[in-house]
Chain A
């Protein structure tokens, strides 16, 4: 249970000072801004839910996995959506390929071409994959899959062993491809009211493209246009 003595915050200690004198008579009004509801989690409770991994590897658990082990896990749990070599299936995403395509007309954003940090791969596989049974893999399996997907992208060799020491050292090809400060607004339109442009021409129309699902009638997923 919560105790004031374990909360060396400025606000709390101020409250404490007031409380020491006020508690015998009132007790609650003086606590405004500090409530103390809920329970303190145990270390075990925090550890069980605290699954996030940082780019520097903070949060990675014990364990390890090889590329070969990862191939076996991949074929069982991943290939049916992502394809035998991470090439994707239907609308399920590609995991590999797309090197150097980011500035092209049809960029392919994969782990190899786009993801800036290897740690994120471990984190995401662990928290959300396999798609139909998330958080069902062991830590070793996740390490193995991480190694395998990195190998599919030619980022690590076939003898790579993924663990909490090796993963943070993996340099992802697109690591420096991001600007993490929002530069917007990048467009400055002006509020013109009269004779703003000389000529107007329609360059494209959605009519007749046969891509629009029905917006009337029951939800049938049909393309009716």
Chain B
């Protein structure tokens, strides 16, 4: 008995020391002083009641008292900027290696299957780089506004932040989101199929404020936005949109933009295809006509079956997708499940979302989860009792303009299979009898 107790005591001391080694030095001293040595003989009793079970017990759940309840955790600034729990280490952006020649001109996908709510954490916001992400010193960065303006300006980041700021929640979606699926089902993953969309609260200065300060000449009808990265990425934006709801953003979800999101500044062009939201923004030129840049002629134009192409297809039309269940999130058994998903429209607010569990034969209206905002991701859900039989799940969004998300068949009929961009058709998930979920297309 005493031998066992002594052995236990040794185990407890070793455990306590191991625990204390995780702590910063000041806390470690306090921990050891209070918990181990000054407590003295009480330690054995404490050990039997509390710390010892960690060594003996196989579980951390009732009736056992979890080890984290009986120890001190790291203090307030153990992670001065904060990092996710180590148990969330699989929740990361991922890429498709076969998609592009090199990672510096590629895209990463948001793990939509793991995200809650409508805001994408900044570290998980999808990335698109045309020449890698530059490391820009904001002290050295300048935004130049010139062209058909009365007063050309060069602004420092300090200058920019003196202007009145606005915040707005908007999604950004790459027009190639889902573009690998025009000809057939290829990727068995929510993340890789639809993860080129993310949503954040953007804070910055209205572009209209800056352009009005520079003074637009009457011939001014377009704005060219140019990035400071190695692609010197450019897009032409009509003045009407520029003056409507576009902002020069310096913050994302309350912090400075992440580097891969355009630090120190980017354009946010609500509802329009992602590449118009020029990152690492260095220059805005007002002109009388569009510039017909590489990104708006050879890329980001939609090739039709007859060989002609549609250009300036800026708006991201309404789209929705079921995020649970999905290939990464299979159903765990029969019974009641919440079918959940995301819907959005580049033309305004989501008005309604319908869900089908039989491949589009019959539909039920889902519930929209607040908040429902213009050009923002919107959550929906529908309670569903799964009987264990195979099912074909679909969602269909209707936006405030009355536009109804199309089927893949309708989209193919109208636009063929070579347009690459703007594939906003209804997604079908096949639920197998074992609860597994597969990306399928219907005839």
Contact = CB atoms under 8 A, between A and B. Distances in A.
Contact of B294 (A9, A36, A124, A193): A124
Given A2-B151, A213-B97, A185 B311 contact: no
B100 to A, nearest CB: 6
A39 interface: yes
Contact of B317 (A102, A114, A185): A185
Given A206-B438, A211-B187, A217-B90, A49 B282 contact: yes
Contacts of A177: 307-309
Contacts of A50: 146, 283, 285
Interface string B143-170: 0101000111111100110110000000
Contact of A204 (B185, B359, B411): B185
Interface in B310-325: 310-315, 317
Contacts of B89: 218
B231 A52 contact: no
A101 B308 CA distance: 11
A181 interface: yes
Contacts of A180: 290, 311-312
B212 interface: yes
Contacts, number: 267
A13 to B, nearest CB: 10
Interface stretch (A68-76, A115-123, A140-148, A150-158): A115-123
A37 to B, nearest CB: 4
A25 interface: no
A134 B301 contact: no
A225 interface: yes
A206 B186 contact: yes
Interface of A: 2, 6-9, 11-12, 33-41, 45-46, 49-55, 81, 90-92, 102-103, 107, 109, 111, 114-117, 119-120, 123-124, 127-128, 131, 134-135, 177-198, 200-207, 209, 211-219, 221, 225
22 contacts: A6-B151, A9-B150, A35-B209, A39-B153, A39-B154, A49-B144, A111-B298, A123-B293, A123-B294, A177-B307, A177-B309, A178-B308, A184-B310, A184-B313, A184-B422, A193-B354, A196-B363, A200-B359, A200-B442, A204-B441, A205-B438, A213-B96
Given A12-B150, A120-B293, A189-B406, 11 more contacts: A2-B151, A41-B152, A52-B285, A109-B303, A123-B293, A128-B231, A134-B232, A196-B361, A197-B359, A200-B359, A215-B189
Interface of B: 89-90, 92, 94-102, 105, 111, 113, 130-131, 144, 146, 150-156, 159-160, 162-163, 184-189, 191-192, 209, 212-213, 215, 224, 226, 230-232, 234, 282-283, 285, 287, 289-294, 297-298, 301, 303, 305-315, 317, 327-328, 354, 358-365, 392, 396, 398, 403-407, 410-411, 414-415, 418, 422, 430, 438-443
